[in-house]
Structure 1
Amino acid sequence: MSLITVLVVVLNLNAAWAEVTGEEMNKANNPLTPMAAVNFHDYVQSSVFGTDETLNTLYLRAATPLKLWDMPQLMRVTLPYLPAALETPTSTTSGLGDLSIFDIFLLKSGGTVEYGVGPLLVFPTADKDETGAGKWQIGAAGVVMSPQSWGMVGALITYQHDFAGDEDRPTQNIATVQPLVLWNLPYGIYLRSTGIWFFNWETGDYNMPVGAGAGKVWKFDGGTTMNLFAEPQWTVAHEGLYAPNYQTFVGLNFQFPLQ
């Protein structure tokens, strides 16, 4: 059973869990919320420029709050697995991707604007050339969010550049910008647009998808939340081959309160 099928089934359940407020929905979608979290994400690229192949990338993400030098932080670890990565223009392969970690220092929290910034590291853990860059990379990540009564708006920005690794592999000089727009509706349902814009400064390639999806947040006894969503995304501007023309972003997120 695919995540999309699970989404359709669960969104129609008449569950007896506690009703969530708009503030709780914002916390469930805010990348700066200082709670332990586990996320299961799936990008299905059913239309890709330069190939007729369907590509697929799964992400396992875990986040945990911590404190260093009396400064609150939020660390997020992401490990991708690619069930269908492009091997040639007419074939795919599968394999583990590159592990990434960023540690956001929460410089401000609460009020109408929250933001944070911190270092980012990428480890060449991919087991195939097609599923990773083959480079150690370093960079930075920054997040700014503005929770409102109607929902949230903000952005997550990253930059990374290689400093070691396979000299025969392409130089990594990459930035991403993820605009985040979420609109809360009754019964824990919300609308979302969270396409990630990708810029390769080394080659000049880029792609800019825009999403239009929906999700639902549930709250369990004890404060744990579950957040399930699906978001179709269309690329509105791009340069270069093998960028997604159309993709579907499906996710299941859990947040756990601090003890």
Structure 2
Amino acid sequence: MSALTIFAAFTSSAMAQDNAQELAKKLSNPIASLISVPFQGNYDGGYGPNDGDKYYINVQPVIPFTLNEDWNLISRTIVPIAWQNDIAGRSGDQFGLGDTTQSLFFSPKKPTAGIIWGIGPVFLLPTATDNLLGGEKWGAGPTGVVLKQEGPWTVGALANHVWSFAGDDDRPDVNATFLQPFISYTTPKAWTFALNTESTYNWETEDWSVPINFTIAKLVKVNKQPIQLQAGVRYWAESPSNGPDGFGARLALTFLFPK
């Protein structure tokens, strides 16, 4: 999507509906020129021999910056707040921050032959407040996203790779590839149906983590503030022996601040 303002005070309900659909479609674009602050709640179970479980909220602000008339810089941050129980055997309860992932995408304001794309660096920051909530490693690597929006459809993929370069020498190194192909359909009434996988391959242990997510979202206004409500389920098609298993759940609330 371009950086042009699409959110305005329309007087007719038909125009307002069209605007809501376009705004909802922007949320399907990870690098849209739109400030958004999602609070994404997740639940997964089946960890390890004691069937541990984990509840966590990902705070994921997305903030675009205009570099010049041709380019934007989009900042995407993921800060997890987690509560978990018996994640590593009988390891008890932990609550606090996890490690932060910071991505920066340089993206042209105008699509290239109809394709929206962005590339840049990704950083892993050891912000975890407990050693079972994070890896205690600093990491960095490349990230990129490519997508196409046509009519109500959005199809694309986001990927990154992170290598650790500093941190606790007694903790395992980070050498991981993240792949997120996605497809979504947005209706004229701003309902969005989405399917994706947020897969990670750990090159150190040669293990895949493959959750398949299906979500339904609705864009609404509360006192003129646009927000998106989302609910969904996921199935772990593949995970390490000590990882999550079976089905999980997702609930999200996203605040939008159109230009």
TM-score, normalised to structure 1, is 0.84
Moved over 4 A (4+): 219-222
Q: Which one-letter code corresponds to 1:200 in the other structure? A: N
Partner Cα distance (1:97, 1:49) in 2: 19
Residue by residue, what CA displacement relative to the aligned partner does 1:78-102 show, whole Å, maximum 9, x if unpaired? 2111112545323332121112211
Task: Say if 1:155 and 1:219 are closer, same or farther in 2 by CA, change over 3 A.
Answer: farther
AA of the residue aligned to 1:46: G
2:40 matched to 1:41? Answer: yes
Alignment-derived partner of residue 251 in structure 2: 250
Unaligned runs of 5+ in 2: 1-15
Please state whether the residue corresponding to 1:129 is helix, strand or coil.
Answer: coil
CA contact (8 A) 2:148 2:156 kept: yes
The whole-number CA distance in structure 1 between the counterparts of 2:162 and 2:252 is 25
1:233 matched to 2:225? The reply is: no
The total of aligned residue pairs comes to 241
Partner of 2:100: 99
Hey, what does 1:66 align to over in structure 2?
A: 65
Q: Is there any run of 5+ residues in structure 1 with no aligned partner, and where? A: 1-17
* Match of residue 144, structure 1, among 146, 154, 160: 146
Counterpart residue number, 2:75: 75
Matched residue SS, 1:130: coil
Once the two structures are overlaid, the 10-residue window that deviates more, 44-53 or 138-147, is 44-53
Alignment of 1:91-170 (within 5 A): 91-107=92-108, 109-110=110-111, 112-170=114-172
Counterpart of 1:13 in structure 2 is none
Q: Against the structure 1 CA distance between its residues 239 and 109, is the aligned structure 2 distance closer, same or farther, given a 3 Å change threshold?
A: farther
Q: 1:25 to 1:43 in 2, by over 3 A?
A: same
Matched to 2:55, the amino acid is: N
The alpha carbon displacement at 1:25 in A equals 2.1
| CA deviation map 1:193-215 (0-9, x unaligned) | 13311111111111212122211
CA contact (8 A) 1:53 1:92 kept: no
Quick one: distance in 1 between partners of 2:223 and 2:130?
A: 43
Cα drift, residue 172 of structure 1: 0.5
* CA 1:257–1:22: 2 relative to 1, 3 Å: closer
Aligned to 1:194: 196
Aligned to 2:28: 29
Change (3 A) 1:21 1:148: farther
Answer with 189-198 or 154-163: which moved more: 189-198
SS of structure 1 residue aligned to 2:243: coil
Give the secondary structure class of the aligned counterpart of 1:88: coil
- With over 3 angstroms needed to count, the CA separation of the structure-2 counterparts of 1:109 and 1:130, relative to structure 1, is farther
Q: Per-residue displacement from partner, 1:103-150 (whole Å, max 9, x unpaired)?
A: 100046336320101001111111111001101111122111111212
1:53 aligns with 2:52: yes
CA contact (8 A) 2:25 2:152 kept: no
| RMSD, matched Cα | 2.4
Query: Equivalent residue for 1:8?
Result: none
In structure 1, distance between residues paired with 2:223 and 2:246: 41
Relative to 1, partners in 2 of residues 1:36 and 1:30: Cα closer, same or farther, differing over 3 Å? same
Secondary structure class of the residue paired with 1:38: strand
**Would you say 1:182 and 2:184 are equivalent positions?**
yes
CA contact (8 A) 1:162 1:173 kept: yes
Deviations along 1:152-208, whole A, 9 cap, x unmatched? 111111111100010000000111111211112342212111331111111111121
Distance across 1 between alignment mates of 2:207 and 2:231: 27
Letter in 1 for 2:89: P
Distance in 2, Cα, partners of 1:87 & 1:236: 19
CA change 1:144–1:244 in 2 (3 A) is farther
